């Protein structure tokens, strides 16, 4: 049994902690606020963090600062975790995303240049380059698990397959989405992210590079809605498109909505992740899409009492 530290009690962190516990490990789940089975800790408090990670085999960075505060909040968190992992001799595995590539016209693979120019892309690129520099200097062992839009049990944010869609769909109403509902789009199932994080922390073949989490073939939003309705035994739901201009106007007073301008390309054009390198190396495929969507429906039904 090994000691593992999971930073962040959101869907990815909580699911990762449960998976590790099921495997018989000692797990400490850490969050800023505490509660929900987590230990309260400000990870930028380097002394407290150092004490918390002592003896840890792996540290999993599943933190999630407020979306509009990434440029200010991520650097001190990332640097503190690098220092803590180096001091403790722990492997550091970070939950990443695809922002660093920026707009591309091909399926995203791990060897694409990190050319994203927006502030959120730049901060994620900087985090990975800092981690990789320490790894190459022999100071630390790192890996990054990059995923597309999260979905699945426990995901309650404003993603397309979460709060933005599921309550309306399960109530039998039409749904409205940002961007082109017919553009191919990759979605990554949260249990697959947790499984990948645990694998990357344990397998030395993973260290020193980024990996795309096993992700099912891309699914346009309109097709996803059709599958969800079928799995929920509901009539087909209409799919409408939310214009960008009111969102941009609302962004003048709502900082979260204001951040959507940088990532508009992810919704207006194909946004496809290629995870074949991970599957070829570790022999793990994504959860079949209908199984993942079905579990999502059941979780939301229980949450909403429908």
What's the pLDDT at 1? 74
Report the pLDDT value the prediction gives residue 158, as an integer from 0 to 100.
75
- What does the alpha-carbon distance between residue 93 and residue 59 come to, in Å, rounded to a whole number? 6
- The residue with tokens 């739901």 is 237
What's residue 294's pLDDT? 98
Q: Which residues pair with 120 in a beta bridge?
A: none
Q: How far apart are CA 244 and CA 258, in angstroms?
A: 11
| % residues pLDDT > 90 (the chain) | 86
Residue among 165, 178, 149 at smallest CA distance from 300: 165
pLDDT for residue 80? 97
Residue 108 to residue 101: CA distance in whole angstroms: 8
Task: Look at residue 159 in the predicted model and tell me its pLDDT.
Answer: 78
**Please, which pLDDT band fits residue 253 given cuts at 50, 70 and 90?**
low
What per-residue confidence (pLDDT) applies to 259?
63
Q: Where are the beta strands (DSSP E) in 12-52?
A: 26-31, 39-40
Q: 181-191 burial, b for 16+ CB within 10 Å, e for fewer?
A: bebbbbbbbbb
How crowded is residue 255: how many other Cβ atoms within 10 Å of its Cβ? 12
Gap between the Cα atoms of 290 and 292, Å rounded: 5
More confidently predicted of 265 and 296: 296
The single-letter DSSP state of residue 217 is P
Residue ranges per structural domain of the chain: 3-151+187-217
- Helices then strands, counting H and E runs in the chain, come out as 12, 11
pLDDT in tens, 143-202: 999 999 999 999 998 778 998 899 999 999 999 988 899 999 999 999 999 999 999 999
Give the DSSP H/E element, type plus range, for residue 123.
helix 119-136
- Provide the CATH number for the domain formed by 3-151+187-217 in this structure: 3.40.50.720
What distances in angstroms separate CA 268 from CA 164, 177, 191, 221, 256, one per listed residue? 17, 11, 27, 11, 19
Burial 121-146 (b: 16+ CB within 10 A, else e): bbbbbbbbeebbebbeeeebbbbbbb
DSSP 156-190: -SSSTTTTTTHHHHHTT--EEEES-TTS-B-EEEH
Strand-by-strand arrangement of the 209-212 sheet: 39-40, 26-31, 3-7, 58-61, 91-96, 141-146, 209-212
Report whether pLDDT(122) > 80: yes
Report pLDDT digits (tens) over 254-264. Answer: 666 656 778 88
Positive or negative torsion for Cα 160, 164, 166, 169: negative
């Amino acid at each position: 049994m090994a000691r593992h530290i999971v930073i962040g009690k959101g869907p990815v962190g909580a699911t990762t902690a449960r998976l590790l516990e099921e495997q018989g490990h000692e797990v400490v789940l850490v969050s800023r606020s505490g509660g929900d089975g987590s230990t309260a800790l400000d990870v930028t408090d380097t002394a407290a963090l150092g004490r918390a990670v002592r003896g840890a085999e792996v540290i999993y960075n599943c933190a999630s600062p407020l979306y509009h505060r990434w440029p200010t909040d991520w650097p001190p968190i990332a640097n503190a975790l690098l220092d803590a992992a180096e001091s403790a001799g722990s492997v550091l595995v970070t939950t990443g995303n695809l922002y660093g590539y920026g707009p591309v016209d091909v399926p995203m693979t791990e060897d694409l240049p990190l050319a994203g120019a927006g502030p959120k892309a730049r901060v994620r690129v900087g985090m990975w380059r800092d981690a990789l520099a320490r790894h190459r200097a022999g100071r630390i062992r790192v890996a990054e698990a990059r995923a597309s839009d999260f979905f699945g049990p426990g995901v309650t944010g404003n993603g397309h397959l979460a709060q933005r869609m599921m309550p309306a769909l399960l109530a039998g109403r039409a749904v409205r989405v940002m961007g082109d509902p017919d553009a191919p789009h990759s979605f990554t199932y949260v249990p697959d992210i947790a499984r990948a994080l645990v694998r990357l922390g344990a397998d030395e073949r993973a260290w020193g590079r980024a990996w795309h989490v096993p992700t099912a073939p891309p699914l346009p939003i309109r097709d996803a809605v059709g599958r969800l309705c079928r799995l929920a035994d509901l009539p087909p739901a209409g799919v409408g498109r939310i214009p960008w201009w009111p969102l941009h106007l609302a962004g003048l007073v709502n900082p979260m909505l204001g951040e959507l301008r940088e990532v508009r390309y992810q919704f207006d054009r194909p946004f496809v992740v290629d995870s074949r390198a991970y599957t070829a190396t570790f022999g793990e495929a994504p959860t079949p899409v209908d199984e993942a969507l079905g579990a999502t429906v059941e979780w939301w039904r229980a949450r909403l009492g429908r």
